[in-house]
Structure 1
Amino acid sequence: MVGDLIRFNHERACFIGRRISMLKHVIEILRHTDPQFKAVESLISSRGVNEASILIIANSLISYQLSVKGEEYWVMFSHYFSDKGKSVGLNEFTSFMGLSGNTRLLDQKKRRLARFLSSSIVRELSDDGLKYCVDLLELNRQLSMLYGGDYSKTVVFAVKMYSYLCEASGVKPLTAGIKPPLDMRNALFLLSSCIVEGCGADTECVGKIMSGRHRNEAVNALLKVCECGGLNCIELDVFTWLVTGVLRDTGFNVYKSSRLIKERYGVEIPVDTLQEISLCVKS
């Protein structure tokens, strides 16, 4: 089987991490121009930080198997819940999921929401929406315990989005120790940048490394990128989410991607860096 040949090249992961580390100033700009960050700012402005914190975490926990791009989904979410007449409850979320087309695995998502919305985390955030900014690892631990205690890409994504809320509120979050979310873009990043070896076509391999026995190896490879680049893994995810997203949308045309990144986010990524990230693209 092809899956049996999959290997993760940590030397290559270190090389890529060092290349990305030269763009830390760019990552800072990318974070603030990320449509998801802007969605967080909008919710804080309209709902206040306490309600916004609950809304943002809840939505993060169901942000998978979407029918639209993640950036578009979060813009829709912020527009919908910026209406103060919309309650922070399961029925309102169910209405939004129907409106936004987030209906795949709907019953599962409703159960995830119900568990979070009835948790002590929500009661604490209702009193202090910034409570976990000084301890994101504790938020990660508590959310993980709600859903079985294991690594979960949606949980670490929720922590990332909560860190956006902290920063947008003027509080620097403590991000050390947070693992990266192994979503489709990070899986594609591992493949396209040659960190994953011995796999088939990208469309086949993304699924293989996001689940099953290769998942932990993939997360460890991303951690190696962070370690060698001197990055926290939220910084890496800011970069991979936006840059890999553009590369994917252009068919990994590095010159077109460079122009689009400049237009969308106001930053320049060296073409040779984009080429390294795209070196092992397969059709």
Structure 2
Amino acid sequence: MELSVSAERELVLSALFSEIGAARVMRLEDELDPQLAFASDVARRWGAGPGSLCSMLTALVSYRLAMRGEEWWRCFRDFFLEHQCPPDPRGAAAAVGEFLRSCKGGVVARGVKLRRLERALSAGPVLRRLVESPSDVILGDHRGLLSSLAASLGQRPEDKTIVFSLKMAYYACRGTSCPGVMLPADVPIPVDVRVSCVSYSSGLVDVPLDVDPVRAIMSHPGIARHAWSTISRASGIPPLHIDTVIWAVGWAPRELEVDEARAAIHRSLEPSLGTRLAAAVARELTVRACGSARAPRSRVEDVDE
């Protein structure tokens, strides 16, 4: 399947994110990303180490969800405010397994996800260090953490759920023991449904006309991953923080027509970015439809793994 990156759109988006800047993206995360709020709540309840561990393990099984991601992480927060997040990997994996059984969002492939949690325990040494010193592991030994997790699951360190697990561990730590620090710039963006949609709707990645662009890009994630890394280097915003902007608004071009998507994105971002920048983001991320006007979409939030 022929996928290609538009050099012109890469330059436009690089300039846009350069203008937004890292400080505004950090503020947007604090104001708009419920994942940060929910992971931070759990970390404040049980401590930065256990909170980071439970957030990371949950992220490893956060695919093919039967609800929106926002609802899933709210379910996570609600469960772990009532149930302990243990400070040891095996206990934490068991607790996340109970969460999987209790939240309807995890019903799809639940048995596979439970086995995945068990396999992740072979990364026990680095997970124990995560509990003991979350900021040192997340910000200082992230490569070792990603490599160990990937090896335990038979994946690559750049795969979507692997890098997303680092982001969610960071979000738990961000609300407790490592506030105000950005993630490393060498960790790629997780190419999920929303990133795939915006990669197409922004004009950044071109796909054949007769296929669902989201499925096409998710099947060839390296194309989008490389393009967003280029934008990251040009703008000075690490890919996992660019991901926050995309995740906050990426549902709109997937579910709405272009004009409606632009209006929804503008409304969402205006309080954090101001009228002019919010309008620019809305315009540049929605040059074409990626969902309702182009191809049927699954009711399941994610479709890979």
**Normalized against structure 2, the TM-score is what?**
0.82
2:188 is equivalent to residue 184 of structure 1: no
Q: 1:30 to 1:221 in 2, by over 3 A?
A: same
Where does 1:228-267 land on structure 2 (aligned, <5 Å)?
Answer: 228-252=234-258, 253=260, 254-262=262-270
The residue number in structure 1 matching 2:118 is 114
Structure 1 residues not aligned, in runs of 5+: none
What's the CA shift for 1:199? 2.5
Kindly provide the CA deviation profile for residues 51-91 of structure 1, in whole angstroms up to 9, marking residues without a partner as x: 11110110010011001111111111011012244654444
The residue number in structure 2 matching 1:219 is 225
Kindly provide the CA deviation profile for residues 80-132 of structure 1, in whole angstroms up to 9, marking residues without a partner as x: 01224465444433332232220212222112211223522222233333331
Larger displacement relative to structure 2 (76-85 or 122-131): 122-131
Q: 1:67 to 1:267 in 2, by over 3 A?
A: farther
What's the CA shift for 1:246? 4.2
What's the CA shift for 1:266? 7.9
The residue number in structure 2 matching 1:161 is 168
The residue number in structure 1 matching 2:61 is 62
**Matched residue SS, 1:109:** helix
What's the CA shift for 1:166? 3.0
Determine if contact 1:163/1:173 at 8 Å carries over to the other structure. Answer: no
The residue number in structure 1 matching 2:135 is 130
Which amino acid in 1 is paired with 2:114?
A: K
Kindly provide the CA deviation profile for residues 162-197 of structure 1, in whole angstroms up to 9, marking residues without a partner as x: 222332224225512111101011101110011122
Q: 1:267 to 1:48 in 2, by over 3 A?
A: farther
Q: 1:248 to 1:30 in 2, by over 3 A?
A: farther
Decide which of 138, 141, 152 is 1:146's aligned counterpart: 152
Q: Aligned partners of 2:149, 2:113: CA distance in 1, in Å?
A: 15
Q: CA RMSD in A?
A: 2.3
**Matched residue SS, 1:270:** helix
Q: Aligned partners of 1:142, 1:98: CA distance in 2, in Å?
A: 26
**Matched residue SS, 2:140:** coil
**Matched residue SS, 1:23:** helix
Decide which of 9, 14, 17 is 2:14's aligned counterpart: 17
Larger displacement relative to structure 2 (184-193 or 8-17): 8-17
Q: Aligned partners of 2:247, 2:63: CA distance in 1, in Å?
A: 14
Determine if contact 1:116/1:146 at 8 Å carries over to the other structure. Answer: yes
Query: Paired residues, what number?
Result: 276
Determine if contact 1:193/1:277 at 8 Å carries over to the other structure. Answer: yes
Which amino acid in 2 is paired with 1:106?
A: R
Determine if contact 2:38/2:74 at 8 Å carries over to the other structure. Answer: yes
What's the CA shift for 1:22? 1.1
Which amino acid in 2 is paired with 1:99?
A: S
What's the CA shift for 1:230? 2.3
Q: Aligned partners of 1:274, 1:51: CA distance in 2, in Å?
A: 37
Larger displacement relative to structure 2 (17-26 or 38-47): 17-26
The residue number in structure 1 matching 2:100 is 97
**Matched residue SS, 2:135:** coil
Q: Aligned partners of 2:289, 2:98: CA distance in 1, in Å?
A: 39
**Matched residue SS, 1:51:** helix
Identity, % of aligned positions? 23
The residue number in structure 1 matching 2:202 is 193
**Normalized against structure 1, the TM-score is what?**
0.87
What's the CA shift for 1:270? 2.8
Q: 1:197 to 1:126 in 2, by over 3 A?
A: closer
Q: 1:59 to 1:12 in 2, by over 3 A?
A: same
